[in-house]
Amino acid sequence: MGRLTPKGKRNISRIIPFGVIWLFVGWILLFVQEAATLNRNLNPTSAISVTLEVFIFASISVTCVGLIVGAIEVLWLGNLFGKNSFSQKILYKVGFYTLFLVVVIIVIYPLAASIELHKSPFDASVLNKLSSFLISIDFLSTLVSVAFSLFLSLFYAEISENLGHGVLMNFFTGKYHTPTEEKRIFMFLDMKSSTTIAERLGHIKYFELLKEYYSDFSEAIIRSSGEVYQYVGDEIVISWKYEDGILNNNCVNCFFAMKESLSKRKAWYTSTFGVSPTFKAGLHFGKVTTGEIGVLKKEIIFTGDVLNTTARIQELCNAYQVELLISDSLVQNLPLEPEFQLRSLGKTELRGKLANFELFTIQHK
């Protein structure tokens, strides 16, 4: 079996919370129901008595259903409604999943009933119980429970997408509640001639271009194990944990993959906006302090000299007339393959820095 790709890892990490949410919500609702009825089956003709075997089956089933919903959401439906508003996405998805989950209930119920009655799922007594269930209040109660689990998991997914999956998980786990020192790689990436483009297009059209521009970077960032730290106007800051960025030259490959993504859509950008955006970038690494900050609005931020240095490196791209500048310290740690052509630009003084930095540019053969 091959090594799991960064995109595969990311998808799995986004799907698993669905199963966890569905399992815990199922347990909570079951506990409330059993507590309210004092663990008695008040309607045995349609409701299933909770035995140990039924409880285990229900736990496994609800977790699997949650994972299936997560897979549908992450791999297909989320992309289908990706450009709709938050409320529209929730509405459309609830409609789709409601029909899907009605079918799931009709399939799972006879299996649970067969475990309770110790009979085949196709036995007459099991099918009679199913028909009674479908016209009972228990069916509506189950639909409400499923709808709640669905809404909660979809709400989690949307919040995760807006904050960033890694950021939300770090908030939940409290990973950065106490400041932590980390070694990270940063890429500061800036659109070329952005002021001129904005003046030509106007604010609304320029914003639409930015949305497409950043969207085209997404696949490259995911495949290179990168994380979007900030969007600042026409500038994007991408970060890697040091090991992830060095592995397979991910931080450098990300730059060329993003460049290729824009190149493939050059004709579309030109026909839609009258311009095809290009960019320049600076790469550097170093230690940062990572932690939660803020009272009215919490964020996980990085602080350290490496961010200022990377920004200064990126600013020199125009002076050297290159699209990519990399610090000497990072170059020394990259396992560059022969297809990368490395060229030293000599030592230079960065604005606000006492020490001189040797900078390199890289071309992909």
Read off the pLDDT of residues 300-336 as tens digits, 9 standing for 90 and up. 788 899 999 999 999 999 999 999 999 999 999 998 8
The span from the CA of 275 to the CA of 205, in Å, is: 12
pLDDT, mean over the chain: 86
Residue 175 CA: distances (Å) to CA of 170, 172, 179, 233, 240: 5, 8, 9, 29, 17
What would the two tokens of residue 301 be? 């931020």
Within 10 angstroms of residue 6's Cβ, the number of other Cβ atoms is 18
247: tokens are 């592995």
Q: Which residues contact 136 (CB under 8 A, 6 or more apart)?
A: 43, 45, 46, 47
Query: What pTM was estimated for this model as a whole?
Result: 0.73
> What's the mean pLDDT in 214-234?
90
Alpha carbon distance 91, 132 (integer Å): 30
Q: pLDDT per residue over 148-175, tens digit each?
A: 888 888 788 777 776 665 666 665 665 6
Q: Are strands 235-241 and 180-191 parallel, antiparallel or unpaired?
A: antiparallel
Tokens 């949307």 map to which residue?
158
Going through the chain in order, the beta strands assigned E by DSSP cover 180-191, 227-232, 235-241, 279-293, 299-303, 324-327, 340-349, 356-364
First to last CA, the chain: 31
Give me the percent of the chain exceeding a pLDDT of 90.
Answer: 42
Helix and strand totals (H; E) in the chain: 15, 8
Q: What backbone phi and psi angles, to 5 degrees, belong to 228? A: -80, 120
**What are residue 225's phi and psi, to 5 degrees?**
65, 25
